[in-house]
């Protein structure tokens, strides 16, 4: 009778588990192997299970670290008990997946060790960026390496602000990431002289902010932007142009996302407004300037952009390098780029040239060609930038760039619908 009651009690217990939905909790903990005894895990224990980089670490010792200067992956592995032979095998087996030479000082890593007295290294996770990481799975007969990306959360944000001193300060005052300043300057590089932005200008922008681990990671897409600059309105409307080409029975579709103004004119022109980013103009175009080194007045047919040594200098347009030389008593290290039959530009006082830049090199618009310096006759680091039209110097700040490209007529109805909805988002009028 006692045995019957005991058996009945067991049946009632199973029935309660089924009826109340508790049976699913009868499971292995995430840190348990399939060969271990199943154990009953209550809700609190289940919530306490920890996943780190997609790896259950309930039964692992987690040791965080940062790659030190001069430290290699080999150094890190050996510090956790790997032998040189094991390191060599890891490199050989995974060299097509991850180049161990790309491990950089200052980047975090996480070691995961077995909980026993041996403290064997089971996993090593190297964080390439805030969002991307590489997992070295060392708990198998054959080492595995794979790339992963953390979950990225996208949040749309609108920023509107008057400019009281500079765009950078206005962006900072709105508690936006400073990267937004660079994004806007890239979009408007052909319309707005960002060295000439002054109090009274204003801007508005709708853009995506990307978050990783609840922390702001970087700026995503710009959905629409507006600038009020020297009393004139400048819109930036992104639009995707679609082209299709048939090759036999296959139709190839090509899409290009480009920014246009409100009239369907591309914001990309033949020349950029300036050859470097965020500095000040220390000397302008004039026929009579007192030379700070020679101590007498002479013509200065260029614009001097003061900037720290090493600041990248880029070509304002596509072209071919026609001159590259050093002038000790003048422009120092300099370059000339011929853009077409009409325009040529020169870049002087460089500290060095970019890799691959030689006479005859064809450069793209925005391509880095050198770096700011103070070579030649110069009192401080700056770029002396000059523009020649039909061989004669002209003021770069007053140069009229060739007209932009217009949208195709067939795309205008779709563009106008996109434009109107985006401008309503800005709410600037």
Name the band, by pLDDT with cuts 50, 70 and 90, for residue 257: confident
Higher confidence at residue 20 or residue 87? Answer: 87
How many C-alpha atoms does 310 have within 13 Å on its Cβ side? Answer: 0
Please give the pLDDT value at position 110: 96
Which CATH number is correct for 280-398, 2.70.70.10, 3.20.20.100, 3.40.50.300, 3.30.460.80? 2.70.70.10
SS (HEC) of 49-87 = CCEECCEECCCCEEEEEECCCCCCHHHHHHHCCCCHHHH
Structure tokens at 249: 């029975």
Nearest-CA neighbor of 126 among 141, 111, 144? 111
Nearest-CA neighbor of 408 among 234, 251, 239, 222? 239
Is 197 buried (19+), middle (13-18) or exposed (0-12) by CB count in 10 A?
Answer: buried
Tell me which architecture the domain covering 153-260 has in CATH: Roll (3.10)
Gap between the Cα atoms of 60 and 397, Å rounded: 63
Which run of H or E residues covers position 350? strand 343-353
Q: Is the pLDDT of residue 170 over 60?
A: yes
DSSP of 80-117: TT--HHHHHHHHHHHTTT--GGG--TT-EEEEEE-SST
The per-residue pLDDT for range 261-317, each reduced to its tens digit, is 999 998 887 788 889 875 667 565 455 444 455 444 445 668 888 889 999 999 998
Higher confidence at residue 24 or residue 281? Answer: 281
Which run of H or E residues covers position 42? none
Q: For the chain, how are helix, strand and coil distributed in percent, rounded to 5?
A: 20, 40, 40
Taking only Cα atoms into account, the Rg of the chain, rounded to an integer number of angstroms, comes to 31
CB-CB contact of 135 with 146 (8 Å): yes
Beta bridge partners of 37: none
Instruction: Pinpoint the residues of the chain covered by CATH 2.70.70.10.
Output: 280-398
Other Cβ atoms within 10 Å of 62 Cβ, number: 14
pTM over 0.85: no
Name the band, by pLDDT with cuts 50, 70 and 90, for residue 227: very high
In the numeric block, the tokens 């033949």 are attached to: 270
* Planar angle of CA 62, 107, 151, nearest 5 degrees: 70
At 353, phi and psi to the nearest 5? -100, 155
% of the chain beyond a pLDDT of 70: 82
Instruction: Pinpoint the residues of the chain covered by CATH 3.10.450.350.
Output: 52-149, 153-260
**CATH code for the domain defined by 52-149:** 3.10.450.350
At 195, phi and psi to the nearest 5? -85, -10
Gap between the Cα atoms of 404 and 194, Å rounded: 19
Which run of H or E residues covers position 291? none
| Mean pLDDT for all residues in the chain | 82
Name the band, by pLDDT with cuts 50, 70 and 90, for residue 21: very low
Beta bridge partners of 348: 384
């Amino acid at each position: 009778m006692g045995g019957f009651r005991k058996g009945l009690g067991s049946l009632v217990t199973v029935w309660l588990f089924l009826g109340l939905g508790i049976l699913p909790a009868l499971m292995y903990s995430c840190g348990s192997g399939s060969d271990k005894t199943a154990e009953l895990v209550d809700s609190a224990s289940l919530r306490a299970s920890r996943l780190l980089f997609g790896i259950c670490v309930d039964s692992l010792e987690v040791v965080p670290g940062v790659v030190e200067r001069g430290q290699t992956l080999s150094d890190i592995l050996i510090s956790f008990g790997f032998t040189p032979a094991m390191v060599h095998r890891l490199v050989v087996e995974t060299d097509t997946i991850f180049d161990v030479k790309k491990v950089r000082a200052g980047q975090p890593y996480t070691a995961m060790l077995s909980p026993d007295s041996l403290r064997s290294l089971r996993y090593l996770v190297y964080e390439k960026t805030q969002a991307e990481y590489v997992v070295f799975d060392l708990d198998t007969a054959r080492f595995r390496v794979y790339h992963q990306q953390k979950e990225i959360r996208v949040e749309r944000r609108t920023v509107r602000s008057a400019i009281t001193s500079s765009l950078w300060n206005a962006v900072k005052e709105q508690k936006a990431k400073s990267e937004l300043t660079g994004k806007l300057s890239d979009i408007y590089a052909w319309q707005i002289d960002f060295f000439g932005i002054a109090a009274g200008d204003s801007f508005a922008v709708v853009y995506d902010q990307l978050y990783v681990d609840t922390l702001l990671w970087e700026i995503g897409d710009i959905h629409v932007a507006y600038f009020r600059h020297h009393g004139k309105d400048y819109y930036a409307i992104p639009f995707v142009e679609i082209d299709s080409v048939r090759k036999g029975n296959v139709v190839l579709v090509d899409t290009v996302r480009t920014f246009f103004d409100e009239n369907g004119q591309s914001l990309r022109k033949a020349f950029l407004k300036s050859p470097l980013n965020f500095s000040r103009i220390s000397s302008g175009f004039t026929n009579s300037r007192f030379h700070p080194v020679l101590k007498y007045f002479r013509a200065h047919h260029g614009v001097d952009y003061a900037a720290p040594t090493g600041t990248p200098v880029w070509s304002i347009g596509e072209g071919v390098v026609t001159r590259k030389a050093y002038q000790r008593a003048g422009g120092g290290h300099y370059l000339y780029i011929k853009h077409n039959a009409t325009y040529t530009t020169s870049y002087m006082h460089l500290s060095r040239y970019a890799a691959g830049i030689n006479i005859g090199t064809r450069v793209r618009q925005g391509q880095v060609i050198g770096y700011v310096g103070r070579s030649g006759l110069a009192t401080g680091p700056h770029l002396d930038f000059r523009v020649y039209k039909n061989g004669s110097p002209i003021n770069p700040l007053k140069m009229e760039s060739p007209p932009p490209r217009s949208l195709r007529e067939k795309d205008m109805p779709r563009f106008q619908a996109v434009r109107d909805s985006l401008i309503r988002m800005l709410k600037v009028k």
